Amino acid sequence: MMLTRLVNNTSTVSRYASPWNAVGIMTRSFSLKHPCLREEKAPTGIVFMNMGGPATVPETYSFLYELFSDNDLIPISKNYQRWIAKYIAKFRTPKIEKQYESIGGGSPIKRWSEYQAAKVCEILDKTSPQTAPHKPYVAFRYANPLTDVAYKQLLDDGVKRAVAFTQYPQFSYSTTGSSLNELWRTIKSLDPQRTIEWSTIDRWPTAQGLVDGFAENINKKLEEFPKEVRDKVIILFSAHSLPMDVVNTGDAYPAEVASTVNHVMEKLNFKNPYRLVWQSQVGPKPWLGGQTAPITEFLAEGSDGILLVPIAFTSDHIETLFEIDLELIDESPHKNKIKRCDSLNGNETFIKGMADLVAAHLKNGNLHSKQLPLDFVLGKSSDPISNVSEVFGKHN
């Protein structure tokens, strides 16, 4: 009876436009455009790449071990680097642990990197809807999360397109180059089918947000000096130094750091005297100078004030919080004259500038800078990228 009524009542079937006929046979298909059946779009991965640092004191040894194992950064021995790194890390760990204890029990670089990456993706979802949703990742070279850990998460999240966004604004083969070499090794290990299409922002020394962010922070800190001497304060832009044997390969880093400094001072109308100096030298080899600490001490006594600006760092870490704040300034007999400019950290101008930079990169289709192939021709490594076109672009 029920079946007879369904067959005879054609008006009811027509009115509801059922895809099934009266005996249960599908007579038409659903459209894939139906909102309930639409396939979710794969996220675009925005991967912040940096050196990293131990988030807790007990992570110090593993951080140092990974650092001294990197032949791109510290070329010791192609065959025995990791074996030697164990002994160096074990020897240096107690001293470095005390330094991390003195700045609060670990490096803040992971926290700031995660914050900055998340904020950049929030902005990109609004300003670049065609590549949304954007998902933030952090890939550190020497600390958790390491590159392979981040890559596994990218795969788990179904990412099909990713941007390796170096957080070293100025390119050096020993920093950005090392991170990209590690990315290539990880691709070959975890993603040989090339399910993720990669591009990279490998340098951005004169990006507007970077320059404006530094200028904002410098102006704010200059306000802390007496008004009558404010324009006489010497600005010392301090960047992490490089061994001269790296510089002498033709590494781009010194010129790119100088370019950042020039653009920042141009934004400030060159209203203060300034110099570029270099910090964090270790070991007996010659390093790029002049060195931050002795030049600061030499100038401080006869100056109206010194403002130190960490020009190659995008957030606080041990080089700012310990090396500058606690070692250089707090131990100086002239510490009342010396201040450090705040690091970029959560500076909104800087973060928006990074988002603008990524949006432009996603839109223009560039896979890397025109300089990158030459960087890898000049750079020295035990296991390098041989051709950047093998890494970036669509290969699946």
Burial of 205 (0-12, 13-18, 19+ CB in 10 A): buried
Do 347 and 216 meet the contact criterion of CB atoms below 8 Å apart? yes
What CATH code would you report for 44-205+348-381?
3.40.50.1400
pLDDT-derived band at 40 (thresholds 50, 70, 90) equals confident
Tell me the C-alpha distance between 28 and 13, whole Å: 13
Examine the pLDDT at 22 and tell me if it is beyond 60: no
Residue 74: per-residue pLDDT: 86
Mark whether 375 is an active-site residue. Answer: no
In tens, the pLDDT along 286-339 reads: 999 999 999 999 999 999 999 999 999 999 999 999 999 999 999 999 999 999
What pLDDT score does 15 carry?
35
DSSP state of 331: T
Distance of CA 1 to the CA centre of its chain: 71
What pLDDT is recorded for position 194? 97
Give dist(CA 162, CA 149) in Å, integer: 15
Confidence of residue 39 (pLDDT cuts 50, 70, 90): low
Q: Any idea of the CA torsion for 150, 154, 155, 156, to the nearest 10 degrees?
A: 90
Query: Is the pLDDT confidence value at 108 over 50?
Result: yes
Predicted pLDDT at 17:
38
pLDDT given at position 166 = 98
Portions of the chain given CATH number 3.40.50.1400:
44-205+348-381, 208-340
User: Whole-angstrom Cα distance, residue 107 to residue 87?
Assistant: 23
pLDDT surpassing 90 at residue 33: no
Contacts of 1 (CB under 8 A, 6+ apart): none
Percent of the chain at pLDDT > 90 equals 85
Per-residue model confidence as pLDDT tens digits over 217-232: 999 999 999 999 999 9
Tokens of 303: 């100056």
**Burial per residue of 272-282, b for 16 or more beta-carbon CB atoms within 10 angstroms, e otherwise:** bebebbbbbbe
Q: Which of 202, 251, 342, 356 is catalytic?
A: 356
For tokens 């400094």, the residue is 261
| Average pLDDT value for the chain | 91
Does residue 14 surpass a pLDDT of 80? Answer: no
pLDDT, tens only, 238-260: 999 999 999 999 999 999 999 99
DSSP secondary structure of 24-86: S-B-SPPPTTSTTTPPPPPPEEEEEEE----SSGGGHHHHHHHHHT-TTTS-S-TTTHHHHHH
In this predicted structure, the answer to whether residue 66 has a pLDDT above a threshold of 70 is yes
pLDDT for 21? 43
Q: For 208-340, CATH number?
A: 3.40.50.1400
Residue 151 has pLDDT above 70, yes or no: yes
